[in-house]
Amino acid sequence: MKSILIFITIIFFGQQSFSQEGVPISINKQFYLYGNTAVIGNNIVSKHETEPFNDRKVINDEVKMKYVDIDMDETTFSSSQATLIIPENSSKIVYAVLYWSAIYKYDKGVLRRQGEKKIYKGNESNRDTNINKIKLKLPNSSYKTITGKIIYDDFTIKAFPNNTPYACYADITNLLNETKQVNGEYTLANIRATQGFISGGCSGGWLLYVVYEAPSDHPIYVTTYNGFIQVNKKNTSTIVFKDFKTQEEGFVKTNLTLATLEGDHRLKTDQCLVLNPKDSIYVALGNLLRRDKNFLIVRLLLMKMNLKTENHIVKTL
């Protein structure tokens, strides 16, 4: 058998405190096909509603956040876009899934200072419980209401009482197969998140993960994982990939697609490592933009990392 590509989608939540909590990462979907995958996404809170914010010198605890809202539509309170491009020779959308996640303890929070102490306050009673209902606009189309499944909602669990994150997903494969135009601008609207200030900082965003069939020289093996976990230097998570076939000799080309809700550039406490089973040493992943000791550094990061390896254990911290 020739080399196989493996694609993984995971949601991580990075914070400075608390014990390991959340929903354990588990397999969601598996495919074996000729084709490839694509992933797009964007933030839904920032310093400005339409202008990009790229100041890496501050942490988002210190930034007064507001909804990104670019659609000029009075029926939506938040909106952001990303462009999907898949090859014209693709024959079928095998799987298309939306993920969205945010910090959502209350609608708006304020920050008060008492000397060096920071006090965050907000009204939890005005939190909307419909976190799994959003709006999606396909290319050259109008908004459709999407009702997804809740992966995790801390509002009832209280594992992260200072932040109250949540994560949801929805299978929209049929929508993409029925639309006349797959490539183009996708707009997500009405994703709920805390605005203003909150302990740990406001954050939120979405991603669209697409698996499609297309002519190719070699088959690929695709696995998507659902979960919501906290990772930092004290709380690590190990994921073992198994039960898939590869060639017996040579390299296996592997792609990892990771999604993180939180990961300030200044907080260098997160890594993603791959185990080399020959010498039992973890090799940290990194590139020119994301150093190996600060890998998961943007809110709802969309990262595709190409590996040539025989390893199949990934560790995040």
Q: Where are the domains of the chain?
A: 6-316
Encoding tokens for residue 26?
């588990």
pLDDT band at 5 (very low <50, low <70, confident <90, very high): very low
Answer yes or no: is pLDDT of 317 > 60. Answer: no
Are 91 and 179 in contact, with CB atoms under 8 Å apart? Answer: no
Answer yes or no: is pLDDT of 188 > 90. Answer: yes
> In the chain, count of helices (H) and strands (E)?
2, 24
pLDDT band at 3 (very low <50, low <70, confident <90, very high): very low
Arithmetic mean of pLDDT over the chain: 80
| pLDDT digit string, tens, across residues 232-254 | 666 677 777 777 766 677 777 77
Q: What's the number of CA atoms in the CB half-sphere (13 Å) around residue 158?
A: 2
Of 205, 183, 201, 175, nearest to 67 by C-alpha is: 205
SS3 174: helix
CA distances from 152 to 32, 159, 179, 202, 283 (A): 28, 11, 30, 17, 30
| pLDDT digit string, tens, across residues 277-312 | 778 887 777 766 666 666 554 333 344 444 444 444
Mean pLDDT of all residues in 258-266: 71
| pLDDT digit string, tens, across residues 20-67 | 467 877 888 888 889 999 999 999 999 999 988 877 777 777 889 999
SS3 138: coil
Cα–Cα distance, 66 to 211 (Å, whole number): 32
Backbone angles phi, psi at 117, to 5 degrees: -85, 135
Mean pLDDT of all residues in 217-237: 78
What is the identity of the amino acid at 158?
K
Answer yes or no: is pLDDT of 9 > 90. Answer: no
